[in-house]
């Protein structure tokens, strides 16, 4: 059995390889090297290859976390839009990197396409801030958004959570936390190639050659968040939603993943876990694409289809 890359995605990756050479392979556990290189790469694809939407108004707020820390919360809106719904957006980065500004481009473009305003929260990163800090920070953002609904002009019953990669895992975790605490109602969860299972560290030989986020990267992220040996311990589902046993009463989910993504199997299994508990699920697995394919090859047909689906779901909130 062999896999092949989507032709349009492959062409972009080949051009990058010819211009920049092969990407470095950092040893597992080297957080700082990944931060330096991957933050720069994400900023290029998110904000330079595609500029942020110019017609979106951005306002910075402060959210107080459970331990009293102050977090940046960036509010994106179209001044002309009055849709009522809103989204808490949680950025990617493997739990160890990324930031709100690095994801200005994608978030602003979602808002520009759909008119749905979004709040992006600067949750604190592992290993300096292990679980439960990141998900608690994300939950603080949800509570702030719901608590300020009137002044923001949104309906507190129409708030969704959304994230990509690690942010997708955090969005799923926030949905679990809010359900269990009887916190703010969540109208939907949009999980884009989500990082859900701390046990995904053994390479799949068919996926490994294509993995933009590698199995070594994944082990580094999960070890930073949960500490060594987490695979053999009980883990809070708010940290690793794939550990969830009871998915009843969680919000409807839109889940999307590439067939050549390290997170493929856990995304498919989570969709099944939700479905078996009676949660409405829309699931897309795109053939021939790796992690973050839509940022890498944003003009590819597969990326345009994915963006159209995401926009449709956001407009339906």
DSSP 208-227: GGG-SS-HHHHHHHHHHHH-
Predicted confidence (pLDDT) at residue 1 exceeds the cutoff of 70: no
Q: Do the bridges between strand 86-90 and strand 118-121 make them parallel or antiparallel, or are there none, so unpaired? A: parallel
42-100: pLDDT as tens digits: 999 999 999 999 999 999 999 999 999 999 999 999 998 888 999 999 999 999 999 99
Interval 155-176 mean pLDDT: 98
Count CA within 13 A, CB hemisphere, residue 239: 22
Helix segments in the chain, DSSP class H:
7-20, 31-43, 104-114, 133-147, 149-152, 166-181, 215-226, 264-276, 293-296, 301-315
Annotation says 261 is catalytic: yes
Token match 């309906």: residue? 155
Catalytic-labelled residue, pool 91, 261, 286, 294: 261
Predicted confidence (pLDDT) at residue 2 exceeds the cutoff of 80: no
Catalytic-labelled residue, pool 165, 178, 214, 303: 165
Interval 25-54 mean pLDDT: 95
Q: Grade residue 16 by pLDDT with cuts at 50, 70 and 90.
A: confident
179-234: pLDDT as tens digits: 999 999 999 999 999 999 999 988 999 999 998 899 999 999 999 999 999 999 99
Measured between alpha carbons, how far apart are the two ends of the chain, in Å? 40
Supply the DSSP symbol for 28.
Answer: T
| Displacement of CA 305 from its chain's centroid (Å) | 18
Q: What is the pLDDT of residue 201?
A: 87
Q: What percent of the chain has pLDDT over 90?
A: 92
Alpha carbon separation from 81 to 111, 112, 208 (Å, rounded):
10, 10, 43
Q: What is the pLDDT of residue 24?
A: 82
| Displacement of CA 112 from its chain's centroid (Å) | 19
Catalytic-labelled residue, pool 129, 131, 230, 291: 291
Q: What is the pLDDT of residue 35?
A: 97
Q: What is the pLDDT of residue 310?
A: 98
158-185 b/e with 16+ CB inside 10 Å = b? bbbbbbbbbbbbbbbbbbbbbbeeeebe
Sequence-distant (6+) residues with CB within 8 A of 17 are: none
Alpha carbon separation from 215 to 95, 198, 235 (Å, rounded):
14, 11, 19
266-314: pLDDT as tens digits: 999 999 999 999 999 999 999 999 999 999 999 999 999 999 999 999 9
Output the six-digit token pair for 171: 């969005």
- Domain topology for 7-315: Rossmann fold (3.40.50)
Count CA within 13 A, CB hemisphere, residue 41: 18
Q: Identify which has the larger pLDDT, 167 or 80.
A: 167
| Average pLDDT of the residues of the chain | 96
pTM: 0.97
């Amino acid at each position: 059995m062999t896999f092949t890359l989507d032709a349009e995605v492959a062409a972009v990756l080949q051009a990058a390889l010819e211009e920049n050479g092969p990407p470095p392979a950092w040893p597992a556990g080297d957080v700082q090297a990944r931060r330096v290189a991957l933050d720069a790469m994400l900023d290029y694809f998110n904000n330079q290859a595609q500029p942020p939407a110019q017609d979106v108004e951005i306002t910075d707020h402060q959210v107080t976390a459970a331990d009293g820390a102050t977090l940046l919360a960036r509010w994106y809106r179209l001044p002309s839009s009055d849709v009522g719904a809103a989204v808490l957006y949680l950025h990617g980065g493997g739990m160890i990197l990324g930031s709100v500004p690095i994801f200005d481009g994608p978030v602003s473009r979602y808002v520009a396409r759909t008119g749905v305003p979004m709040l992006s929260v600067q949750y604190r990163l592992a290993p300096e801030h292990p679980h439960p800090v990141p998900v608690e920070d994300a939950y603080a953002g949800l509570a702030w958004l719901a608590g300020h609904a009137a002044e923001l002009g949104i309906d507190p019953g129409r708030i969704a959570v959304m994230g990509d990669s690690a942010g997708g895992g955090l969005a799923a975790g926030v949905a679990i936390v809010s359900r269990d605490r009887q916190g703010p109602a969540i109208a939907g969860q949009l999980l884009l190639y989500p990082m859900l299972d701390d046990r995904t560290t053994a390479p799949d030989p068919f996926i490994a050659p294509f993995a933009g986020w590698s199995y070594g990267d994944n082990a580094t992220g999960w070890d930073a968040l949960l500490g060594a040996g987490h695979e053999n311990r009980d883990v809070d589902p708010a940290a690793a939603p794939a550990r969830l046993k009871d998915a009843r009463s969680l919000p409807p989910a839109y889940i999307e993943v590439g067939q050549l993504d390290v997170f493929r199997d856990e995304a498919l299994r989570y969709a099944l876990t939700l479905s078996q508990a009676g949660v409405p699920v829309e699931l897309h697995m795109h053939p021939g694409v790796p992690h973050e394919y839509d940022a890498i090859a944003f003009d590819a047909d597969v990326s345009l289809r994915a963006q159209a689906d995401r926009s449709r779901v956001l407009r339906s909130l």
